[in-house]
Amino acid sequence: MMKVKCTQLPSGLTVVTERMPHLESVALGVWIKSGSRNETVDEHGIAHLLEHMAFKGTRRRSARQIAEEIENVGGELNAATSTETTSYYARVLKDHVPLAVDILADILTDSTFDAEELRREKHVILQEIGAADDTPDDVVFDRFAETAYRDQTVGRPILGTPDTVMSFSPDQIRHYLGRNYTTDRIFIVAAGAVEHDAFVREVETRFSALPRLPHSSPVLDTARYTGGDSRESRDLMDAQVLLGFEGKAYHARDFYCSQILANILGGGMSSRLFQEVREHRGLCYSVYAFHWGFSDTGIFGVHAATGGENLPELMPVIVDELRKSSMSIEQQEIERARAQIRAQLLMGQESPAARAGQIARQMMLYGRPIPNEELMERLSGITKERLTDLAGRLFFDTVPTLSAIGPLEHLAPMSDILSSLSPRAAETHAVAI
């Protein structure tokens, strides 16, 4: 039976493990409760740049040595930056856990941020920014976030801009690291063939150099949802369209209710949007709904990809499905959504990497691992009445966010979309804009 064990070291660092029987490997990583949202105005993109630079050399290892040492034992090493978190993780066979811990500690406590390596990595990120700009389904989500949270860090693209990326110095990276990579914000998690006490000892020894207190208070402005309209006409084969609304934060009462609603509307081939928009009417080749939670806000959205000529019919059908969800939801739909979420939860726990990430997120958000039974109990309390009430408040009481890119000459003006949603939303929009 799997069991999560948690130890808080005297330094303030939190170490969590879950032993998974019959595995020979371990997925382990360092999760920091800090991401692009913790940047100052002048630091746009520095969280992502730091993630890259951590692999570019320490006082004990060159960039090549970091790569070779982990791959010499058949292991993997990677990292990721998101809006509110950053992670550095590895997967190795159980005998090589001490090596993986040592490498992760080395890159996070003793990176040199060499000026020549920094110069090269800046150009790598410029290529990454260029590639993202050439990918319409990436661009539409970036514009969506920027429009939903206008002029705020929570809405900025994680990669930064060419100007900001090229401006950063090694000292600026060190300052961001010192302010955000402190023991009170770091969770070190392992899942798989791991022994908790031995892992704790390795972590305590290797990560002793982490600062306990930030140089200055981490930056985190309260999110303020604005909504709005962002359109970019491009000569493309298809149009990417996102229609969204202010969602719920992780700790909000309606967070799990929002997850169920997104699943019912567009969480799979049996969902309302997929069946009506794609299967019945053939108006697009891709359509789905999603709900993203953050620490103090959230986003509920519908994404569709279609030919520009289908837009006049597509948007009213999507809005109509949103309206229907505020009027009636069947018990069978709720049960199917619960079953899908439960299956995703349990299937994810069969992967040590997915399980380590799941535990880390729960620790950062709730301060403790959440048992499966508790998660399912939260889902079981969701009723038809709660879902229809939530849909009414989500879709018809706030200004929507529209983001679109591609051949948009047939896309209805925002005023028409607002009127089809609610006169109250239209009035709010007129004041907001």
Q: What is the pLDDT of residues 321-348, one digit of tens each?
A: 999 999 999 999 999 999 999 999 889 8
- Tell me if 3-206 shares its fold with 228-432: yes
Q: What is the pLDDT of residue 417?
A: 85
Is there a contact between 81 and 35 (Cβ–Cβ < 8 Å)?
A: yes
Q: Is the pLDDT of residue 369 over 70?
A: yes
Task: Identify the pLDDT of residue 427.
Answer: 43
Q: How confident is the model at residue 273 (pLDDT cuts 50, 70, 90)?
A: very high
CA dist., res. 251 & res. 259, Å (int): 13
Average pLDDT over residues 228-244: 95
Per-residue model confidence (pLDDT) at position 426: 38
Indicate the SS3 state at residue 34. Answer: coil
Position 201 pLDDT exceeds 80: yes
CA distance 245 to 299: 6
Q: Which helix (H) or strand (E) holds 170?
A: helix 170-180
Enter the DSSP assignment of 36. Answer: G
For residues 29 and 425, which has the higher predicted lDDT (pLDDT)?
29
pLDDT tens, position by position, 130-173: 999 999 999 999 999 999 999 999 999 999 999 999 999 999 99
The tokens describing 265, both together, are 């509307």
Domain 228-432 -> CATH class: alpha beta
Measure the CA–CA gap between 290 and 302, rounded to whole angstroms.
6
Judge if pTM exceeds 0.85.
yes
CA distance 190 to 355: 9
- The mean pLDDT of 388-414, rounded to a whole number, is 93
Residues labelled catalytic? 51
CA–CA distances in Å: residue 35 to residues 15, 49, 157, 274, 322: 20, 11, 11, 33, 32
Section 197-226 average pLDDT: 85
pLDDT at 339: 93
Q: What local confidence, expressed as pLDDT, does residue 260 receive?
A: 96
Mean pLDDT of 219-242: 92
Looking at residue 325, its pLDDT comes to: 95
Cβ 180 vs Cβ 34: under 8 Å: yes
Beta bridge partners of 339: none
CA distance 55 to 81: 14
pLDDT attached to residue 212: 80
- The per-residue pLDDT of the chain, averaged, comes to 93
As to burial, measured by CB atoms within 10 angstroms (0-12 exposed, 13-18 middle, 19+ buried), residue 353 is buried
What average pLDDT does range 392-409 have in this prediction? 93
pLDDT at residue 2 in the model: 56
Domain ranges of the chain: 3-206, 228-432
Q: Residue 213: pLDDT above 60?
A: yes
User: What is the average pLDDT across 32-43?
Assistant: 94
| pLDDT at residue 211 is higher than 90 | no
Q: Please tell me the least confidently modeled range out of 78-82, 265-269, 375-379.
A: 375-379
- Beta carbons within 8 Å of 416's beta carbon, 6+ residues apart: none
Res 215: pLDDT? 62
What is the per-residue pLDDT across 66-104, written as a single tens digit (0 to 9) for each?
999 999 999 999 999 999 999 999 999 999 999 999 999
- Asked if residue 218 has pLDDT above 80, the reply is no
Q: Which of 220, 38, 50 is nearest to 125 (CA)?
A: 50
Tell me: pLDDT of 423 over 60. no
Fold of 3-206: Cytochrome Bc1 Complex; Chain A, domain 1 (3.30.830)
The residue ranking higher by pLDDT, 192 or 2, is 192
pLDDT for position 245: 96
Give the rounded percent of residues in the chain with a pLDDT score beyond 70: 95
pLDDT range class, residue 1, cuts 50, 70, 90: very low
At 431 the pLDDT is 36
Mean pLDDT of 34-62: 96
Residues 100 and 239: their CA atoms lie apart, in Å, by 44
Distance CA 113, CA 53 (A): 6
- With beta carbons less than 8 A apart as the criterion, state whether 15 and 195 touch: no
pLDDT of residue 217: 62
**What pLDDT band is residue 430 in, cutting at 50, 70 and 90?**
very low
Q: Which residues contact residue 406 at a Cβ distance below 8 angstroms, ignoring those fewer than 6 apart? A: 136, 233, 234, 236, 238, 239, 240, 308
pLDDT confidence band for 3 (50 / 70 / 90): confident
- The number of angstroms, rounded, from the C-alpha of 301 to the middle of its chain's C-alpha atoms is 14
